[in-house]
Structure 1
Amino acid sequence: MSRIDYFDDPNAPIANSIKVAVSAFVRDYTGNILMIRRTDNNKYSIPGGGLDVGETVTDAVIREVLEETGIAVQITSLVGIFSNPKHVIAYDDGEVRQEFSICFRAEPIGGTLETSSESKEVLWVSPRDLSALDIHPSIALRIKRALDPQDGPYFT
């Protein structure tokens, strides 16, 4: 299913749903960041997805990272809660979802890089090389907050 992300766009469609999503800021021992290139919008992103009924948010993060990247992770801390009503995602089935994502820091504990139906590319990226990638502003904010040594989690 394809999607269009609208960010602070006065012509964006009105949201008609909200779903809890999770994402993970994963760094390896060299400081590189685990990134995917999404199949639905062709943008680079940190891995993540929707919370399923019957799982915890940390279970969802671990599952989504493994499904999208082939990398097993353990959660280390909370980056923040991102719930900007000016960021909506329109899907081709008519759903227009308001952003609501809980982002965690995680570290890799195993696995090998592999793509999935949701990720056409999986790679480790140096923070200094992020500017060369096409990253949606909402994901760039999560990365910025995860890299920021500020105290406590971010929330909107």
Structure 2
Amino acid sequence: MVQVISKCGEPTIPRPMAAFGLREGRFRVELSPTPVGLRQIGDPFSIRVRPLSAVRQGHSDPRQSPPILTFRCLFQRFDLSMRVAFLSNESYIGWLRKKVGNGLILSPSVGAVIHDHQGRLLLQEKSSGEAWSLPAGGIELGESPQEAIAREVMEETGYAIHIHGILGVFGGRTFRYTYPNGDQVEYVVTLFQCRIIDGSGIPSDAETKSTRYFGRHEMPELALPYPKDDLFRAF
């Protein structure tokens, strides 16, 4: 949860916001549009965050432009009488799980096939101890598949990518998966061929324990049964 509005205009950013490069401290937070302008679930809104010290000192240096964080509306309405309003950056799947529990759901998703100069495939090792995986994830409300794969690869590997093309779309019973907590999902995955164009290689997602390139004959078992011919198709 992100504390975004208070009457004094000086909410404290909680520790999870460090993922967006914000340190703990006192900040002025500006919401656009105002809560009254958010009509339905899925509406986008932005949060502009400025350190309170900069606000007090009247800093306006464009090189110190405050970050803008984009979230999605997950509420049907807002109680404007509250002293502090809370908006959520929770994922769509997280929101849906609160409605349906751990029953089977269908998840439109994306995955990335990324090779190094030796033709080896980039995989993600999960912090949870689950099987290795492609950089992949669910598509959020209002997000295109191309936007989703760029976001997922950056979060899980720390790399910016260029999308070369679509390898295929995969789904059905063989793409069902049960998580350690009992959540069941059937994925419909658009698989993209991608190449790295920038980035630190340092994941920002706590789900990633490590990343590593594998050759075709040293591949570990993957969480989902992608055809190897597609994973190692040259491009």
Give the TM-score normalised by structure 2. 0.50
Q: What residue number does 1:101 align with?
A: 189
Q: Aligned letter for 1:59?
A: E
Q: What residue number does 2:162 align with?
A: 74
- Superposed, 1:31-110 pairs within 5 Å as 31-91=119-179, 95-110=183-198
**Partners of 1:50 and 1:60 within 8 A in 2:** yes
Q: What residue number does 1:145 align with?
A: 230
**Mind listing any 5+ residue stretches in structure 1 that lack a counterpart?**
1-14, 150-156
Q: Aligned letter for 2:107?
A: K
Q: CA deviation at 1:48?
A: 0.4
Q: What residue number does 2:209 align with?
A: 120
What is the alpha-carbon distance in structure 1 between the residues aligned to residue 182 and residue 112 of structure 2?
Answer: 27
SS of 2:112's partner is: strand
Structure ranking higher in strand proportion? 1
Q: What residue number does 2:223 align with?
A: 136
**Partners of 1:114 and 1:122 within 8 A in 2:** no
Q: What residue number does 1:24 align with?
A: 112
SS of 1:124's partner is: strand
Q: CA deviation at 1:44?
A: 1.3
Q: Aligned letter for 1:82?
A: F
Regions of 4+ moved over 3 Å: 91-95
Q: Indicate how the Cα distance of structure 1 residues 85 and 134 shifts in structure 2: closer, same or farther if over 3 A, else same.
A: closer
What is the alpha-carbon distance in structure 2 between the residues aligned to residue 117 and residue 134 of structure 1?
Answer: 21
**Partners of 2:113 and 2:134 within 8 A in 1:** yes
Q: Indicate how the Cα distance of structure 1 residues 38 and 144 shifts in structure 2: closer, same or farther if over 3 A, else same.
A: farther
The structure with the larger Rg is 2
What is the alpha-carbon distance in structure 2 between the residues aligned to residue 107 and residue 22 of structure 1?
Answer: 15
Q: Indicate how the Cα distance of structure 1 residues 114 and 30 shifts in structure 2: closer, same or farther if over 3 A, else same.
A: same
**Partners of 2:135 and 2:153 within 8 A in 1:** yes
What is the alpha-carbon distance in structure 1 between the residues aligned to residue 118 and residue 106 of structure 2?
Answer: 36
Greater RCO, 1 or 2 (C-alpha within 8 Å, sep 6+)? 1
Q: Aligned letter for 1:60?
A: A
Q: Aligned letter for 1:147?
A: F
- 1:124-151 Cα distance to aligned partner (Å, 9 max, x none): 2233422xx2323514x2x4313246xx
SS of 1:28's partner is: coil
- Bigger Cα displacement from structure 2, 105-114 vs 56-65: 105-114
**Partners of 2:166 and 2:192 within 8 A in 1:** yes
**Mind listing any 5+ residue stretches in structure 2 that lack a counterpart?**
1-102
Calculate the aligned-residue CA RMSD, in Å.
2.3
What is the alpha-carbon distance in structure 2 between the residues aligned to residue 101 and residue 119 of structure 1?
Answer: 20
Q: Indicate how the Cα distance of structure 1 residues 16 and 136 shifts in structure 2: closer, same or farther if over 3 A, else same.
A: closer
